[in-house]
Chains A and B, each alone.
Chain A
Amino acid sequence: MNPVTAGTWDGFEGAYYTGFGSMELIWLLATMVLLGIAIFLGNKHEKSAYDAVEKR
């Protein structure tokens, strides 16, 4: 998961974040999926709240 594989930071240059070069797309997609789920459930919650008011 990390690009600093030489056992030392000495001489290391450039991007050093977790998953550099291999995992970016996975984590990027994960954020999109979580956002999609959150918005979908948010919409469902909101709709059921409005429906409950109308039924009163």
Chain B
Amino acid sequence: MEQELANLAATVAELEAKAAATGSIFSETFYYLTIPLMVLIHVGFLAYEMGASRSKNALASGIKNILAFAMIVPFFYYVGWWIYWAFPTGLSGAMGAMEISGFAYANEIASPTSPYMGPNLADQASGVFWGAFVLFAATTASILSGSVIERIQLTGFIVLAVVLGAFVWILAAAWGWHADGWLVTKLGYHDFGASGVVHMIAGFFALGVLLNLGPRIGKFNADGSANQLAGHSMPMTLIGLMLIIAGFWGFLMGCVIVPGEAWSWSGKIETSIYGTPMTMSGMTFNVLMAFAGGIIGAWMTTRDPFWMMSGALGGIISAAAGIDLWWPPLAFVIGFIGACMMPFVASFIERMKIDDAVGAFTVHGFLGLWGVIAVGIVGSGYPAMFGDADVIEISLMGQLGGAAVMALLGFVPGYAVSFLLKVTGMLRVPEAAEVLGLDLTKVPSSAYPESIHPSVSPAE
């Protein structure tokens, strides 16, 4: 009998070890797969921005995307990941209630000299989490990238992309996308799919940059009216936008915390980054409904395929902050309303003499804002975190406070850094180069050497 019990205990221990190993490999693979899916976002941005550029600038726009992605990777390794864990409670670097934040914690797990920042048999999580966050960071830079095409200097853009991707957005994420984040613990801020911490930050950062960068030559006439500087390939732009949407599934997947690991918030069900329970199944309803609402709303107001595909993106961004909470038809309505507002906001920006080449502020900045506020309007009252009782709740005031922080945290660094670049002559290309085209000036190569797509714009 004793021998049988010993055998049974050994079998149970063996099964537990196998189950634990399977769980760890599942979670490691889960986040690993978010990375190639999110690379699709960058494939999409590459095609989208090259298509939205005139043929004389197509490759220069592409180089910007490729290099921004590459530059963010080392800088996020040096400092970005450390910022996320160091500053959730504010700039003091104090540890929060969950004991997963502060300078000491960040130094231990996220400093570039930490043993967790490389191959380590005791750690199956850091690399894949870091990788997913790198891709979030690169997304912010790509959002900026589209708005400034055809006239920004490459090195100036790289500086801006690194500031945004490795410093600014990740500070926003520490504050509003972390269980110890002060926006979460003090205001009940809820931003599951990063409407604020990614889209608002990048959109408002882009707005600050555009004010210093100025419009492309030929965009505005002397009487103040605007010309449409059409890109050379609308089909390429549309395919790019659809690829971004495909990549968004990986982006939203990366916002989920899987259960059952030592670092998980739950032993049995997925949670948000705040530890609140959710299901990927529920999220699936809402992503597709918001996507559909966005396309149909944009079709109704514009009839333009560019805005329809931007509407698809805008619908998801509008619903993203609460995409773990919505009743699916409500996600459709939120996406539809966001997409309907989009062309009017873009027109307003243009009337302000701001040349946002692809509507990045409108789609990401404004609709990110709408998404954050929508959670306050129809999602108030939910506990904003996990905990036994009397947990701080989501509220309209909390969402408005979070939105104000995101707007300022995006806009001020964007404006300040681009102003410094402007003063030092690193922001804008010379007029002659802009007129000749950036591909011939500096790439040096031609997207279409047989000249099948000559540019015919006022800036020729």
A38 to B303, CA, bound (A): 11
Q: Does A9 contact B (CB under 8 A)?
A: yes
Check B326–A18 contact: CB distance below 8 A.
yes
Please name all residues of chain A whose beta carbon is closer than 8 Å to the beta carbon of B299 when the two chains form the complex.
Answer: 38, 42
Check A27–B329 contact: CB distance below 8 A.
yes
Check B381–A5 contact: CB distance below 8 A.
yes
Please name all residues of chain B whose beta carbon is closer than 8 Å to the beta carbon of A16 when the two chains form the complex.
Answer: 277, 325, 382
Check A34–B333 contact: CB distance below 8 A.
yes
Q: Does B233 contact A (CB under 8 A)?
A: no
Q: Does B458 contact A (CB under 8 A)?
A: no
Q: Does B390 contact A (CB under 8 A)?
A: yes
Q: Does B386 contact A (CB under 8 A)?
A: yes
Q: Does B388 contact A (CB under 8 A)?
A: yes
CB distance from B133 to the nearest CB of A (A): 25
Given contacts A18-B330, A27-B329, contact A8 B391 (CB under 8 A): yes
Please name all residues of chain B whose beta carbon is closer than 8 Å to the beta carbon of A45 when the two chains form the complex.
Answer: 303
CB distance from B396 to the nearest CB of A (A): 11
Check B296–A34 contact: CB distance below 8 A.
yes
A10 to B389, CA, bound (A): 8
Please name all residues of chain A whose beta carbon is closer than 8 Å to the beta carbon of B387 when the two chains form the complex.
Answer: 8-10
Check A8–B383 contact: CB distance below 8 A.
yes
Partner of A8, one of B282, B297, B380, B388: B388
Partner of B383, one of A4, A17, A27, A41: A4
Please name all residues of chain A whose beta carbon is closer than 8 Å to the beta carbon of B332 when the two chains form the complex.
Answer: 31, 34
Q: Does B300 contact A (CB under 8 A)?
A: yes
Of B296, B297, B386, chain A has the most CB atoms within 10 Å of the CB of B296
Given contacts A12-B277, A38-B299, contact A1 B381 (CB under 8 A): yes
Please name all residues of chain B whose beta carbon is closer than 8 Å to the beta carbon of A17 when the two chains form the complex.
Answer: 282, 325-328, 330
Interface residues of A in 1-38 (CB under 8 A from B): 1-2, 4-10, 12, 16-20, 23-24, 27-28, 30-31, 34-35, 37-38
Q: Does B87 contact A (CB under 8 A)?
A: no
A14 to B80, CA, bound (A): 38
Q: Does B215 contact A (CB under 8 A)?
A: no
Check B382–A2 contact: CB distance below 8 A.
yes
4 closest cross-chain pairs (CB), A and B: A27-B329, A38-B300, A17-B327, A31-B329
Residue positions of A touching B, CB distance < 8 A: 1-2, 4-10, 12, 16-20, 23-24, 27-28, 30-31, 34-35, 37-38, 41-42, 45
Extra pairs beyond A10-B388, A19-B378 (12, CB < 8 Å): A2-B325, A6-B389, A7-B383, A8-B388, A8-B389, A8-B390, A9-B383, A17-B330, A18-B330, A31-B333, A38-B300, A42-B299
